[in-house]
Amino acid sequence: MKNPGRPEDQLPYLDTVKRLIILDLSTQIAAFRTGKLDVIGTVSHASFRWEEAKDLRRTNPEAGQVSYSPPYFTGIAWRVDKPDLPWYDKRVRHALSMAVDNRAMMDFWGGYCLLHNEPSSVLKDIHTPFEQLPKVVQELYGYYPDKAKQLLAEAGYPKGFKCEIICQSPDVDMLSIIKKYWAAVGVELTIDVKEYGVYTSMTLGKGFKHMATHSLEASSPEKMNRYTTMQAYNPACISDPKIDKTWEQVNATLMTNPAEASRLLKELFVYILEQAYYFYPPAPLYWVMWQPWVKDYHGEQFIGKWSGYMAYPRYVWVDEALKKKLTR
């Protein structure tokens, strides 16, 4: 294809693109700092945080950088399909949400995060800003430990309960903070770290006992499989007739009446938040940095609405002379 901005240019410019899986974060940082990586911080489970970005800005001031609202972030799925589990009762889900000081948790990411995640610009019409959410939903993002204890008592757990969560190693720090807050209202959380293959098998196969960390998105219609019945990516095992019925209505009107589909989705997402089927912690910003020899790149991950992930490299080129000069 041709470059829309320079129609005389044939795409792609690059002969090869290599995407490396480097599990150790310090190795990633060192590789970028020494010029062995062209780009760092693309969307992944182990994207680096603001501390690493701040340090790289100091050692590599010539590098380009951008931070942005994450397309997804890690939350907690608690199984709501088993009546014998505490959070089958919505009051318990609300209590566990209100027991965590989300604004204090934002300090964990240096303040570089969002309390209520924002969707991409193309989905603004189905997003409700935080200040416009119902009071009961806003309270789920607040810190009300006394009310949390009251709700637990009303649900039949005046002394709390014990529970466990499966996760991957990058989630442990966040979960350790949540564990401390829940302990203050009588809920004892055990953190069970699984390697990736086991974790994936247990979450997709619904093989975990109580809770699991899970990737959550900003309000996004194509990700409704997190909430509709019998979906693999619905680890909370939600089966809510209102959600399923509304999603059927959305599918029926999406092409013929998109404005009505957007209205239905906007109302539905507020309902989903109020049900607290997942625990939504603050969403840390994503950071992307790139070397000065990487040209026509601005930190993109997605281009347009449906072009897909990793479509941007076709427009990028490398200034080989500059790279040689800066890395020799």
pLDDT (tens digit, 9 = 90+) per residue, 92-126?
A: 999 999 999 999 998 877 788 888 876 666 677 88
Helix, strand or coil, per DSSP, at residue 153: helix
Same domain, 77 and 178: yes
Q: pTM value? A: 0.84
What CATH number is given to the structural domain containing 289? 3.40.190
Same domain, 173 and 294: no
Q: Residue 321 domain-assigned?
A: yes
Q: Which of 3-17, 26-40, 147-161, 302-316 has the highest mean pLDDT?
A: 147-161
Q: Residue 123 domain-assigned?
A: yes
The span from the CA of 227 to the CA of 231, in Å, is 8
Same domain, 16 and 114: no
Instruction: Among 283, 298, 317, give the residue marking a domain's end.
Output: 283
The tens digit of pLDDT for each residue in 53-96 reads 888 888 999 999 988 777 677 899 999 999 999 999 999 999 99
Q: Residue 166 domain-assigned?
A: yes
Q: How many domains does the chain have?
A: 2
Domain limits for position 47: 2-68+285-327
Is the separation of the CB atoms in 80 and 151 below 8 Å?
Answer: no
Neighbours of 97 (CB within 10 A): 24
What values do phi and psi take at 69, rounded to 5? Answer: -60, 130
Q: Residue 225 domain-assigned?
A: no
Same domain, 86 and 186: yes
Q: Which residues 6+ apart lie within 8 Å of 111 measured at CB?
A: none
Same domain, 43 and 113: no
Q: Residue 192 domain-assigned?
A: yes
pLDDT of residue 46: 47
Q: Residue 314 domain-assigned?
A: yes
Nearest to 38 by CA among 51, 28, 47: 28
Q: Residue 151 domain-assigned?
A: yes
Same domain, 141 and 54: no
The tens digit of pLDDT for each residue in 266-318 reads 999 999 999 999 998 888 887 889 999 999 999 887 776 555 567 888 899 99
Same domain, 117 and 182: yes
**Residue 288: beta bridge partners?**
66
Helix, strand or coil, per DSSP, at residue 141: coil
**pLDDT > 70 fraction of the chain, expressed in percent and rounded:** 92
Same domain, 289 and 190: no
Residues 162-187, buried b or exposed e (16+ Cβ, 10 A)? ebebbbbeebeebbebbbebbeebbb
Is the separation of the CB atoms in 273 and 140 below 8 Å?
Answer: yes
Same domain, 211 and 303: no
pLDDT of residue 162: 98
The span from the CA of 42 to the CA of 289, in Å, is 8
What CATH number is given to the structural domain containing 114? 3.10.105.10
Same domain, 51 and 86: no
Q: Residue 155 domain-assigned?
A: yes
Same domain, 16 and 142: no
Same domain, 87 and 204: yes
Mean pLDDT estimate for the chain: 89
